[in-house]
Chain A
Amino acid sequence: MKYFLLLMLFIYFLPAQATTTQVYSFNDDTLEKRFELLLQEIRCPSCSNQSIADSNAATSKSLRYRVYLDLKNGYSDQEIISRLIQRYGYSIHYAPALGHPLGYLLWLGPMIVFIFLMMIIFYQQRKGQK
């Protein structure tokens, strides 16, 4: 019974093993960290809202290999991303501000609107006090 339960436990974790198909190894720890971060920043082009880090689509596999090669060849993170943007467009990147000039508006826009509204409220209140 004990062994049977143990066996069941192993079977339970089998799918977790099956999803990792290829493991990339780096000699350098910082490279490996950059690799993992980059994978999470890049959107899988053939999936709906998944990064290439956790997608097993064929394109994701190709993209993971591309990032691996580029890192080994000494490209910077920015260069790797912008090379991908040239081919796939800005939607390949999960943080658009870094690639697109209008991206900053996307991040800062709501902030500006908020400050603008606060100023109006402040102004109206002071008028009411008078």
Chain B
Amino acid sequence: MKLKLFNGVIVCLFLLLILIFWQGLHSNNEPQAMAEISKKNYLETIFNNAQIKTKKLPSGIKIINIWSSWCLSCQKEHGFLLKLAKQGYALIGINYRDDENKSRQWLKQHKNPYKLILQDPNGQLALEFGIAGVPETWLVGADGQLHYRYQGEIDQVAYATLLEKLQILQREIS
């Protein structure tokens, strides 16, 4: 009788373990980590801390793209950024660990999609976004809240997702 109870407890614990792992598979990775970043006005806070004048920022929906002239993936995704700029979205470029002159030359060669370029030679501004590597793209709502993050090179699929998210953000305004 006691042995049966004991076996029952073991089986229950095992099932519980499976449930926990199953949930882990489907949960968003680290929701708590994003809590700070997804706060309203986070962008303003970062920029204030970095002593960048927020008045310079374009109003409305913004796309923040962290890029470098030494990054090959950035070159590949550049066409999509130009497309986004053509559609009237305000792009802010954060030039990550780069030489300012080299980045200017790079933009001359590949065309400039950015309305505003922020130099980040030490990578400290990009750290505030929890960046793992370049390129990385963020969508910022008109309220200054960071809504969507895309890590890595923008391809056809990612571009479609970005457009979709941007449309949702626009619907929220109107």
Residues of A within 8 A of B (CB): 45-46, 57-59, 61-63, 65-66, 69, 85-91
B residues less than 8 Å from A69 (CB atoms): 124
Q: Specify the chain A residue showing the minimal Cβ separation from B13.
A: A113
User: Contact between A87 and B37 (Cβ–Cβ < 8 Å)?
Assistant: yes
A124 to B68, CA, bound (A): 66
A36 to B131, CA, bound (A): 22
A90 to B35, CA, bound (A): 12
Which range holds the interface residue count of chain B? 20 to 34
DSSP majority for the B interface?
loop
How many pairs of residues, A versus B, come closer than 8 Å at their CB atoms? 56
Give the residue of A57, A62, A89 whose beta carbon is less than 8 angstroms from that of B127: A62
User: Contact between B131 and A59 (Cβ–Cβ < 8 Å)?
Assistant: yes
Give the residue of A57, A58, A65, A91 whose beta carbon is less than 8 angstroms from that of B96: A58
User: Contact between A59 and B29 (Cβ–Cβ < 8 Å)?
Assistant: no
Q: Specify the chain A residue showing the minimal Cβ separation from B96.
A: A58
DSSP majority for the A interface?
helix
In the complex, whether B129 has a CB less than 8 A from a CB of chain A is: yes
Q: Specify the chain B residue showing the minimal Cβ separation from A86.
A: B36
In the complex, whether B30 has a CB less than 8 A from a CB of chain A is: yes
User: Contact between B130 and A58 (Cβ–Cβ < 8 Å)?
Assistant: no
User: Contact between B126 and A88 (Cβ–Cβ < 8 Å)?
Assistant: no
Tell me the residues in window 24-61 of chain B with beta carbons closer than 8 Å to chain A beta carbons: 29-30, 32-37
User: Contact between B33 and A66 (Cβ–Cβ < 8 Å)?
Assistant: no
In the complex, whether B128 has a CB less than 8 A from a CB of chain A is: yes
- CB pairs A–B below 8 angstroms (12 shown): A45-B130, A45-B131, A58-B123, A59-B131, A59-B133, A62-B97, A65-B122, A65-B123, A65-B124, A66-B124, A86-B35, A89-B34
User: Contact between A87 and B128 (Cβ–Cβ < 8 Å)?
Assistant: yes
Give the residue of A46, A63, A66, A91 whose beta carbon is less than 8 angstroms from that of B133: A46
In the complex, whether B91 has a CB less than 8 A from a CB of chain A is: no
User: Contact between B33 and A87 (Cβ–Cβ < 8 Å)?
Assistant: yes
CB distance from B33 to the nearest CB of A (A): 3
Known: A58-B123, A88-B33. 5 other contacts (CB 8 A): A59-B132, A62-B126, A65-B123, A66-B127, A87-B36
CB distance from A56 to the nearest CB of B (A): 12
In the complex, whether B162 has a CB less than 8 A from a CB of chain A is: no
CB distance from A103 to the nearest CB of B (A): 13
User: Contact between A62 and B132 (Cβ–Cβ < 8 Å)?
Assistant: no
